[in-house]
Structures are given as structure tokens and as C-alpha cells.
């Protein structure tokens, strides 16, 4: 399967997960059905499952990109070392809100503070990972750009 086909496959699946969860989560039946005395409703559960599925599909897209990019040591293959850190950062940033969809009604003030700080630390760690991945692979990438653009040219 060529790259356009699987990009479209993942893209459509992500959009469907988001649309279906929004449609089902918006139904009054789902908004009114709650678990016990909590504010956790079927609507929140459906939204969590849909958004979580979309994030999982996004992560799987990144893993597919890793499989498809050859390890040649030059050009675009160097970008493969950035895929996992960047996808991790994206999933953490978006996942913070996704988990809150079902977690917010269950967390107290202390639980929310702990939750927030876990994501702050995780997001900073992922951002450092992105920076390190770039730094460690930047030299070969810059060399390949120099070869394409010609060496010795000044700006």
C-alpha cells in the first residue's frame, strides 16, 4: 500500500472517531445517563473513548511512518528519529484534556493538582526529548542540506 492510501486510511479513521463521539456524546440520552452520584455521564465516556481512539490512531500513524521511512542515514530518513518524540509530545498535550473528560468529575482539588503536575512534568520531558532527538540527528541533516544547496554559499 502506498503512503497516500495509509495516510488517507488513518486520516478518515481519526475524523470518524471524532465525529461519531461528538454526535453520540451530544445525544440527550447520553448526557442524562450518569454513573451514581458522580457527574460522570455516558456522554463523557463516549467522548473519552472517541477522543482517546483518535489519539491512539494518531500514535499508530506515527509508528506506521517509522516503518515506512527507510534508515538510510540521510535526507528524510533522519526525520524518522523525530517521529516518536514529536508524537509523544502531541499525544501528551492533547491527552491531558482527553483524560479530563472522564477524570474531572472524579478528581478533587488535590487530585487535580497532582494530575496537572504529572502532565507538566511529562510534557517537559517530551519536549526535552524532541530537542535532544533533533540535536543528536541535526548534523547529518545539515550535511545533506548543504549537499543539496551547495557548499560555501553565504547568506
Count of domains observed in the chain: 1
Answer whether residue 74 is part of any domain.
yes
Residue 4's pLDDT is: 83
Answer whether residue 154 is part of any domain.
no
Q: Cell numbers for 32, please give them.
A: 442524562
The number of C-alpha atoms within 13 Å of 32 and in the hemisphere containing its C-beta is 3
Answer whether residue 138 is part of any domain.
yes
Answer whether residue 155 is part of any domain.
no
Check: CB of residue 69 under 8 Å from CB of residue 135.
Answer: no
Domain extent at residue 117 = 3-149
Residue 38's pLDDT is: 78
Instruction: Give the pTM.
Output: 0.76
Answer whether residue 75 is part of any domain.
yes
Bridge partner list, 39: none
User: What 3-state DSSP class applies to 102?
Assistant: helix
Residue 82's pLDDT is: 84
Burial class (CB in 10 A: 0-12, 13-18, 19+), 44: buried
**pLDDT under 50: residue ranges of the chain:** 154-155
User: Phi and psi dihedrals of 27, rounded to 5?
Assistant: -70, 140
Place of cell 492533547: 94
The CA-CA-CA angle for residues 64, 69, 74, to 5°, reads 155
Answer whether residue 53 is part of any domain.
yes
Amino acid at each position: 500500500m502506498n503512503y497516500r492510501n495509509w495516510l488517507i486510511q488513518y486520516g478518515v479513521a481519526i475524523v470518524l472517531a471524532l465525529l461519531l463521539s461528538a454526535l453520540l456524546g451530544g445525544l440527550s440520552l447520553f448526557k442524562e445517563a450518569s454513573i451514581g452520584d458522580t457527574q460522570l455521564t455516558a456522554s463523557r465516556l463516549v467522548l473519552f473513548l472517541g477522543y482517546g481512539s483518535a489519539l491512539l490512531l494518531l500514535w499508530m500513524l506515527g509508528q506506521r511512518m517509522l516503518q515506512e521511512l527507510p534508515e538510510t542515514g540521510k535526507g528524510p530518513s533522519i526525520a524518522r528519529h523525530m517521529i516518536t518524540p514529536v508524537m509523544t509530545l502531541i499525544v501528551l498535550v492533547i491527552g491531558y484534556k482527553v483524560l479530563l473528560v472522564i477524570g474531572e468529575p472524579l478528581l478533587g482539588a488535590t487530585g487535580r493538582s497532582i494530575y496537572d503536575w504529572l502532565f507538566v512534568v511529562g510534557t517537559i520531558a517530551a519536549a526535552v526529548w524532541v530537542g535532544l532527538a533533533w540535536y543528536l540527528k541535526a548534523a547529518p541533516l545539515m550535511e545533506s542540506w548543504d549537499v543539496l544547496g551547495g557548499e560555501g554559499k553565504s547568506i
